[in-house]
Each structure stands twice: as structure tokens, then as C-alpha cells.
Amino acid sequence: MTNKETLKRTVVLCLAGALLLILTLIAACSGSGEDADTTHAQKPHITTPKTTGVTTQATPTATIPYVSAETPNSTTPTSTKPADAVESSTPATTALPPEPEKPKHVTVSLSSTDMYTGSLIEVSSQNPYSYKVASLYTPTELDRLSSSELSELGWSSLYTNKSGLYLLRSRLLYLRTEAYTAFNLMMTSFVGKTGNRDIQVRYGYQLVNSATDAASLSDERVSGLVVEINVYTEEGSFSIDHISKKSAYYDWFDENCAKYGFIMSGESGYFRYVGTPHAEYMQKNRLSLSAYLTLLKNYSFEEPLAVADSSGLLWNIYYTPASQGALTEVKVKENSVYVISGNNRDGFVVAARDKG
């Protein structure tokens, strides 16, 4: 073999070895890429959203980007809740309580003269008693009437109906029947508690002259709703707040007279009947009749003054102004017990409670 042939064979072998090396490298590179692809498919990269104070479990699903609630340009915030969290429904709005039904009522028709009658009439120089209501009698004239005639006119004689519970200064002592009945109930309780029967009735209804006498019509005693008492003993006559009598007399009446519908004025032993529950409210709040009537103008059928009396009964008290016409329609709750009185001023006062 010549040198030329030997050189030729050597070049061929080198080329063949180089080609084999290249093929080997290509095969090695190809195998490395397949392994890398397989590894990436088995272990995907997972991004877990950030949360504050909440531990969430990552889920092998598509990556969920975290959007901060403070990001100003975000238009669709993505929830950071765990995938298995259940969305709550839209919170229901709190239903407003229904408006209370207005109480059903009936109407009572009262005439203009009814404003001058009842237990709450205020009699004073500014509001004189109206003699036009009915014919007024002096006590002497009443003394000439029979018991049935007196009853028909709404009067009661303390002398004719002596109870033995108290003494009388005169036989010509009269009260309106509702005041007379309440006074006897009060005195029955007083005697039962104290055993004292030395209370004397000094004055009741007063009408000195005729019904046109201005002085008489400005005196509250013309209403027949006032009774004045004192203590009459062998030692003499005393006021009920006399230093030696105060604890046994004045204190008892001050504490109990309102339960029977009376208020006691600053003048010792002077009682004015206004009826319950008015007396209890006035006594508790130390109101005069005039102040009480003014207060009631703030209350109506729709928004009355609620007063609980000593027996636990709840009364609704309110004012209705007199109309300019002949009749005034006064609202009263349906199926209720009520008492209506004029105020001798400009309207009517209603006290009503549920039956039972």
C-alpha cells in the first residue's frame, strides 16, 4: 500500500469517527430534552394567593392571580377564598316593623253647654260657673226638694243620708252625687283605719244669693264638688293640720284622698273632687286643677297621657277642643270605659280605659 492510499484511509476513518461522535451528541441532547419535558409536566408550578390571618390549602388547579383590595385600577377583584368556600347569599334587608294600627273609635256628640259640667270644671273669677247650664238653687231651696227630685238633679244631702262617719255643721249641706259618694267611701276608710269619728263637715255646696251673683259664681264651692272639714272635739274645733292632730288626720288624708278622687288644696281641710285617675296624677305631680287642665292640652286621642291608678288600671287621658258649632264630636276608643268632663273653659277632657 502506498503512502497515498494510507493517507486516504486515515481521512475516511477520521470523518467516520467524527460523524459517529456528532450522531452520539445529537442523540444525547435529544434524550435530555425529553426528560426535562416529562419532569415539567409532572410537577407544575403553583402560585398560592396571599391571605391575611386565614390559612388556605393549595389546590392543584390553574394558577389564580392575587389582586389586592387596595389596587386602585383593578376592575374585577379575584377572590382569595379557598376553592371549597361557599359564597353566602346576598344578606336580606331588615324588615321594618309594621306601623301600629290606629285604635278604632266611636264618637260622642256633646253640646256646647256640656262644656260647663263634669268633675273637672274650673271655677274662678276668670272662669265663673255657668248658670245657664241648668236652674241653680240655693241650699235653702234645695232643702225644699224631695230626695227623688234631688237625685234627678244630681244632688245629695249629707244630712238626709247621714252615715255616722262624721259630724255636720249644718243640715243645709249638699254635694253633687258623685262627690258625695266618693266622700263617704273616703270617710269609711278613714274611720276604719284610725277609729276617729270626730271629723266635721263645715261646708259643701254654696250659693249665697241668686245664680246671677258674680261672687257666688266665682266661688268653686258653687260647683258642689268641694267639701271642707275640720276636727271637732270636746276640747274645741281644730284644723286637720293642727300640731296636735297632724299625724292622725292630715297625714292620712294627704296620702289617701287622691285614691277616692279628691285633691287637697293648700288650705287645710279643703277638698276638691276631680275624680280618679285625675286626682292621683295631680297629687303625685303636685299640680293644681288649672295647671293640670293646661297640661292636658298637649294630649290627644291619638297621643294620650297614660296614667296608671292605684288599683293598677291604665287610663288614657286627653283633651278635645270644643267646636264652633252646636255639637262637638269627641273620639273614644271602641269597647272602652270612659268619663268625659267639660273644663268650663274651651273643651272637654276624656279619661278612658279598656274594659275588664
DSSP string, 206-241: ---S-TT-HHHHTSGGGGS-EEEEEEEETTEEE-TT
pLDDT per residue as tens digits for the range 136-193: 788 888 889 998 999 999 999 999 888 889 999 999 999 999 999 999 999 999 999 9
Please calculate the CA angle 221-170-258 and round it to the nearest 5 degrees. Answer: 45
Predicted local confidence at residue 42, as pLDDT: 44
Predicted local confidence at residue 247, as pLDDT: 84
Predicted local confidence at residue 284, as pLDDT: 94
Predicted local confidence at residue 274, as pLDDT: 98
Q: Which domains does the chain have, with CATH numbers?
A: 102-120+286-356 (3.30.200.180), 131-273 (3.30.1380)
Instruction: Find which of 40-44, 93-97, 281-285 is predicted with most confidence, using mean pLDDT.
Output: 281-285
* E strand or H helix that includes residue 16: helix 3-42
The pTM is what?
A: 0.70
Phi, psi of 291 (to 5 degrees): -65, -35
User: pLDDT tier at 135 (50, 70, 90 boundaries)?
Assistant: low
More confident call, 213 vs 172: 172
Written as one letter, the residue type at 227 is V
> Does the pLDDT of residue 76 top 70, yes or no?
no
Number of other CB atoms surrounding residue 285 within 10 Å? 10
User: pLDDT tier at 271 (50, 70, 90 boundaries)?
Assistant: very high
User: pLDDT tier at 27 (50, 70, 90 boundaries)?
Assistant: low
pLDDT per residue as tens digits for the range 316-342: 999 999 999 999 999 999 999 999 999
Q: What percent of the chain has pLDDT over 70?
A: 71
CA dihedral of 203, 208, 210, 213, whole degrees rounded to 10: -110
Written as one letter, the residue type at 223 is S
Scan for cell 289617701, then name that residue: 256
| Residue 253: strand, helix, or coil | helix
